[in-house]
Structure 1
Amino acid sequence: MIRTSHRPLAMAALALGLLTLTACGTEKAGAGPGQSSPTTPASPTALSTSAAAARAAHDKAFPDVAARCKATKATAGTTGPEKPEPLPTDPEAAKFAENHAFKQQARLTPEARCRGEAHAQRIQKALTGPGTTPPANEAALTAALTKLGYGPDNGTVQRVGNALGFSYSVPGIGPCVTGYLGTPTSIEAHGPYVEGGCTEPRGGH
């Protein structure tokens, strides 16, 4: 008697079952019918809501800055940014300007300028005002800025020559504040660099 073996059929069925399970396991969570994929870009409404929440958090943490720039907010959209300066006509000067274009900063709206300058003055008064002792090292400067509401996650502290320096993004609203505690002290507000961040990029072409 010749017996027919069912082993190949069983193995084929097992392989098909494993393939089906594997395919199911690769489906992304939340990507089913009627559900958006995790990589779906946020809608303009969601971004606007997030920006409003960040602004509200900033105003709650820094009520003096919010009050100072409240009037500026109403006219923030009426004044456009200044026109970029044309490249020099001299070939060498034009090449120099082109090679240093990466150091350009984004322009601030009137509201952002007001808030940035208010933060710069707030920091300068706290660090170098009458009756204060300026921080002596990087750790002391970091601690002083953190106490003022500018945590390490928002910027960097470094020593530039004999002076302490810092570059921070104001929490929630974004203008940069960069300072050097030298003689004299210089603390100013500015837009982020075109390559990103508040710290001046190094290098060039």
Structure 2
Amino acid sequence: MTPRTAGALLLAAGAIVLTGCGTRTAGAGDAAEPPAPSVTPSVTPSVDYAAQAAAAVARHDALFPAIAARCADVATGGASPGATAGELPADPEARKYAENHAFKQQAQLTPGARCRGDAHAARIKAAVAGGSGGKGAPHTVEEVRALLTGLGYGFDSGGVYGSGAVNVSFVLSVPESGPCVTGRLGPPLTVEAHGVYVEGGCLEPRGGH
């Protein structure tokens, strides 16, 4: 073999080795490449407000079965989010007054909410006028608060106001289903149901312009 032939054989062998180093055949023990993560847009579930309102009415009815029976044949539903609608007066001064006091507008009540509200107002008025559990009619803030608490009402959206036995009034939201009930010892004693104010809550907002 000549030196030239031997050199050619060595070059050919080196090329084969280099070609094999750059090639890899996947075997049974090799790990597969992880798949690319799929991008799925998140979907926010819609809120079923009608179902929430119906559940609230059901909880209310469990707390006050007598009122539930009284309003059983009336359409269910809570307070409507819309404010009481009305045309503005034509007189400029009256129109300006109406615009400045628009913040005192109240949400409309559905027939079911109106029935429950009026029933609670009548129940509270009877208890305040004649006392509850054989007790005399309340005269002070403390007595009114104790009576209403005993009847099952809370004051998360209101309270009892006054000074001793002077100018005693109260505001509350009927548990679970609403609406609001506002009362004043008077004289005369007044208790009425109404929708929430457009600015929120059962307390009459103060302000305007």
TM-score scaled by structure 1? 0.70
Measure how far apart 1:108 and its partner are: 0.6
User: Among 26, 43, 64, which residue is 2:46 paired with?
Assistant: 43
Question: RMSD value over aligned CA atoms?
Answer: 2.8
* Secondary structure in 1 matching 2:109: coil
For 2:152, the equivalent position in structure 1 comes to 149
Task: State how many pairs are aligned.
Answer: 164
Measure how far apart 1:140 and its partner are: 1.8
Larger radius of gyration: 2
When residues 199 and 111 of structure 1 are mapped into structure 2, their CA distance, relative to the original with a 3 A threshold, is same
Measure how far apart 1:85 and its partner are: 2.3
* Secondary structure in 2 matching 1:95: helix
Measure how far apart 1:82 and its partner are: 10
User: Among 167, 173, 176, which residue is 1:172 paired with?
Assistant: 176
Q: Are the equivalent residues in 2 in contact too, given 1:154–1:171 (CA < 8 A)?
A: no
When residues 154 and 196 of structure 1 are mapped into structure 2, their CA distance, relative to the original with a 3 A threshold, is closer
Structure 2 portions without partners, runs of 5+: 1-38
**Identity, % of aligned pairs?**
55
Measure how far apart 1:195 and its partner are: 0.5
CA–CA distance in structure 2, aligned partners of residues 175 and 109 of structure 1: 10
TM-score scaled by structure 2? 0.69
Q: Are the equivalent residues in 2 in contact too, given 1:176–1:191 (CA < 8 A)?
A: yes
CA–CA distance in structure 2, aligned partners of residues 188 and 83 of structure 1: 16
For 1:72, the equivalent position in structure 2 comes to 74
For 2:140, the equivalent position in structure 1 comes to 137
Deviating above 6 A after TM superposition, structure 1's stretches of 4 or more consecutive aligned residues are: none
Structure 1 portions without partners, runs of 5+: 1-32
- In the TM superposition, 1:3-18 aligns within 5 A as none
CA–CA distance in structure 1, aligned partners of residues 71 and 166 of structure 2: 35
Moved more, 64-73 or 136-145: 136-145
- In the TM superposition, 1:1-205 aligns within 5 A as 43-45=46-48, 47-73=49-75, 84-129=85-130, 132-159=135-162, 162-205=166-209
Q: Are the equivalent residues in 2 in contact too, given 1:162–1:182 (CA < 8 A)?
A: no
When residues 82 and 200 of structure 1 are mapped into structure 2, their CA distance, relative to the original with a 3 A threshold, is closer
Structure number with higher helix proportion: 1
